[in-house]
Structure 1
């Protein structure tokens, strides 16, 4: 069975696959464009995206805005017919400015999670950019639909439902994740589809996209059969030739074993899932001294936080993986080799055919 296109408003990707936004610097223009050229939706992560800019150390906000526009332009040049999204966390200190920069830069879609993006329609008012919030429950999806409809007469152009097996910051408490009290992705997806359906209008369908732990074609097939319109995959795209991270970073996934993946507490109070290394062992024993604050996340207090998450993520993506934070989905250990995005997408399509 062939995969049906994913329709996001008047946009249509040939394949119902969104590449997840991964920061810092893991998914930039090169990866996003490669995915878009293969018929998926490529996503640039806007988190501390200006880290290569000479001004980053002195004015990170200015560097980030400039770099975001540049990365969108590069992606558009590399994939002129493709769909390019930008992932922006609500928890960013300069969230409003980054959303406006993404729209000004020509992003086709804004994907937004790590909080409820209550004001997102207001920030892009009058522009063509599509809006996709990320939620971890049907309840959160309902809140967003009600608020956006009542305040802005606007409904989401799609909703990404992210389950507990995702990488990066997770929308569940640490207790839920450890004790297994959280619902699995299948349950959350089905609940969200039922909750969102009454909000849909004749000319406004709201596709539900499943995310979190989706690794292969059989996973994609399963969620499409459950009623999802597409999937988002992040970790699986890390070990690709086009991924913007260093080779050392990619090799951490190839060398990773199932027991190497653990939950950790982020400085912003949210749990995350990462590969166990020297850095994680250090922060479990003592607080790291913070010499500089990049003012990246609104909920981070440098006086009390365990470590600087920007520094930790930057160390990792640049290749200093032993002293950095390496976020991963629960199935990151299954990655065996580095392949091209084209090879991966073709492989996934074959697997979907077998799974359906």
Structure 2
């Protein structure tokens, strides 16, 4: 077999065309990790960060959102360090990787100011080239995260982005992912999905369609063997961790074999990104933040009684918090913000340094906005000048929806399914039956989060997409981690939490990627 177009040569000892050769010994068999690194944003939890955490023996996690767009844009930037092409060279079906490379790879990168080529948007009937890009994007990110060590690696998805899930999960499984983490909804269909994909069987995943009758069901379908054109050997089924914010949701998922995950991440409202809505009537603070009360408190002893491992997330970055979590019966904690600000983070370097600077001075403001996200869920936004948190920047940005990950399917009067997003042009949203109040203050998270990792779209008129930044609201860890310096690494976070020295595991591949 020949290498895909433009790919560096395969490494010694890796047999092409056999996905089973990519799998590693499951590291979690020896026990649960104490620390889970959060799967943050679009590319913030990239492969470099996940690999750095996994090399300490803790669970490194890549964000699985929009990896098709990140793959396409990294290739159009010329893949300067060759890492993407090196990972693509290890995909078990070279012809599929070759097609994506031929479509998107630009030697030397696009000329300055030239827009990135668009990619297929999600839909109930996905295009084949879109499926290929999704599978390869997840394969590349997970494979790079797993390279050179035996540590555990997971991938984080949003349940709300249902139309992307089957192809994305399959790509991660082909690369040997150890854990799938899923929040922003109830992953009731994911255990069966993982079972089927481990055997390369066709799958269907239910998709919520707004305005549809209760007796109508919609699905997105995915057939691995049809896409690959071969029948691979069985791959390993990853463990599923459901990210929930209430005892009720954990109990509901655990009560039935078909919906039971392998564990839970219990997330509090101070965690970064999306938060659960407060239970009961929505009340806002003077700063416009949702007010949470006693009904939003998770009964951890009841969660422990379910008999599944769980981790606590949100405001847990400290040895005392870790000890307190373990005392409740938790296996450990999930940490996001401390890893988002470390040097291996996928955040644009200049933006990350500005966040660190303002946070250390005590001037960084992170607010939980009720109406910023098109999803309708509260969303944490770091208020940094020059980003879309700035009202002037937001007002100047043309409203458009060209990535579309957060578009919601809805049933049109003629029975067909359309797609709409509160962050798209207001007139378009209203013509699709949306309510004008949904559009007020709604930001385009898709473009803003992609811009936050340095891959924002460049428009033909010269306009560049501004970033949108999200963090958790607990920054008390920074003085200890930064100390007298101005930066820190992922291993420093682990060392701080565990109070032990951290050493990377020895390489298990020949010629590990730098």
Q: TM-score range by the shorter chain?
A: 0.7 to 0.9
Matched, 1:231 2:360: no
Q: Residue in 2 aligned with 1:47?
A: 65
Matched, 1:57 2:126: no
Counterparts in 2 of 1:1-356, with a 5 A limit? 10=29, 12-13=31-32, 15-50=33-68, 51-53=70-72, 54=76, 55=104, 57-59=118-120, 61-62=130-131, 63-79=133-149, 81-92=150-161, 93-125=163-195, 127=198, 128-146=237-255, 148-149=256-257, 152=258, 155-173=260-278, 175=283, 178=289, 180-183=291-294, 187-188=297-298, 191-195=299-303, 197=305, 199-200=306-307, 206-254=308-356, 255-256=358-359, 257=362, 260-264=365-369, 265-278=372-385, 279-282=388-391, 286=395, 288-299=397-408, 301=421, 302=424, 303-304=428-429, 305=439, 306-318=442-454, 323-332=466-475, 335=478, 336=482, 337-350=486-499
State the TM-score, normalized to the length of structure 1. Answer: 0.83
The count of aligned residue pairs is 331
Q: Residue in 2 aligned with 1:4?
A: none
Q: Residue in 1 aligned with 2:83?
A: none
Corresponding residue SS for 1:26: coil
Corresponding residue SS for 1:87: strand
Residues in 2 aligned to 1:244 and 1:285: alpha-carbon distance in whole angstroms: 23
Corresponding residue SS for 2:158: coil
| CA deviation after TM superposition for structure 1 residue 346, in Å | 1.6
Q: 1:226 to 1:338 in 2, by over 3 A?
A: same
| CA deviation after TM superposition for structure 1 residue 8, in Å | 9.6
In structure 1, the gaps of 5 or more residues are: 1-6, 201-205, 352-356
Corresponding residue SS for 2:181: strand
Q: Supply the RMSD in Å over aligned alpha carbons.
A: 3.0
Per-residue CA deviation, residues 136-188 of structure 1 (Å, 9 max, x unaligned), is: 00011111112x42xx2x63211000001100011124637846333498x41
Q: 1:132 to 1:244 in 2, by over 3 A?
A: same
Per-residue CA deviation, residues 83-136 of structure 1 (Å, 9 max, x unaligned), is: 000001111131232223222332111000000111001111153210110000
Per-residue CA deviation, residues 19-65 of structure 1 (Å, 9 max, x unaligned), is: 00012111111111110111210001011123242446233644333
Residues in 2 aligned to 1:142 and 1:244: alpha-carbon distance in whole angstroms: 35
Contact persistence 1:136–1:172 (CA under 8 A) = no
Contact persistence 1:109–1:129 (CA under 8 A) = yes
Residues in 2 aligned to 1:119 and 1:287: alpha-carbon distance in whole angstroms: 41
Corresponding residue SS for 1:125: helix
| CA deviation after TM superposition for structure 1 residue 66, in Å | 1.3
Q: 1:114 to 1:83 in 2, by over 3 A?
A: same
In structure 2, the gaps of 5 or more residues are: 1-25, 77-103, 105-116, 122-129, 199-236, 409-419, 430-438, 457-463, 501-514
Higher helix share: 1
Q: 1:125 to 1:193 in 2, by over 3 A?
A: farther
| CA deviation after TM superposition for structure 1 residue 207, in Å | 0.7
Corresponding residue SS for 1:325: coil
